[in-house]
Amino acid sequence: MPNLYYTARVKTELLAGLDADMIPERWLRACVAHLARDLKVGVVCSAQLFYNVPHNDPLNQQNSINWLYMDIIRDHAGLGWNLGSGLVFRREAVDDIGGFPTDCLVKDI
């Protein structure tokens, strides 16, 4: 049976998952600050916001209902929600659960 969980050979303290077209510098600073402030935090997932969305966002690319309202509700309920990109996680947290699955069906396939 193939190994369905991946743990990198390089041991870094933090790992990030982001889309190829993201501009990571300011985003990383904001996310990593939460991990540095509280060692109990294992993952930080950010809203996906875009700087080049057309006026009035006719295709709802910002998905603002999710980020502006649903995430606040999830946060208050103690729930985590990740839509696949825009997350930084602590290596120790991933190791504690045995790695993360690499054999899964996601929206990008």
**Which of 44, 108, 38 is closest to 81 using CA atoms?**
44
User: Do residues 101 and 54 lie in contact, with contact meaning Cβ atoms separated by under 8 Å?
Assistant: no
Mean pLDDT confidence for 14-31: 86
Average pLDDT score, the chain: 78
pTM score, whole prediction: 0.68
pLDDT reading at 39 higher than 80: yes
What's residue 77's pLDDT?
87
Q: What is the dihedral of CA 57, 73, 99, 33, to 10 degrees?
A: 80
Mean pLDDT confidence for 30-59: 85
Query: What is the pLDDT confidence band of residue 35, given thresholds at 50, 70 and 90?
Result: very high
What's residue 105's pLDDT?
65
Domains and CATH numbers, the chain: 13-101 (3.90.550.10)
Query: What is the pLDDT confidence band of residue 1, given thresholds at 50, 70 and 90?
Result: very low
**Which of 17, 14, 4, 6 is closest to 84 using CA atoms?**
17
pLDDT reading at 88 higher than 60: yes
Distance, in Å, from the CA atom of 13 to the CA atom of 23, rounded to the nearest integer, reads 21
Lowest mean pLDDT among 2-6, 14-18, 75-79: 2-6
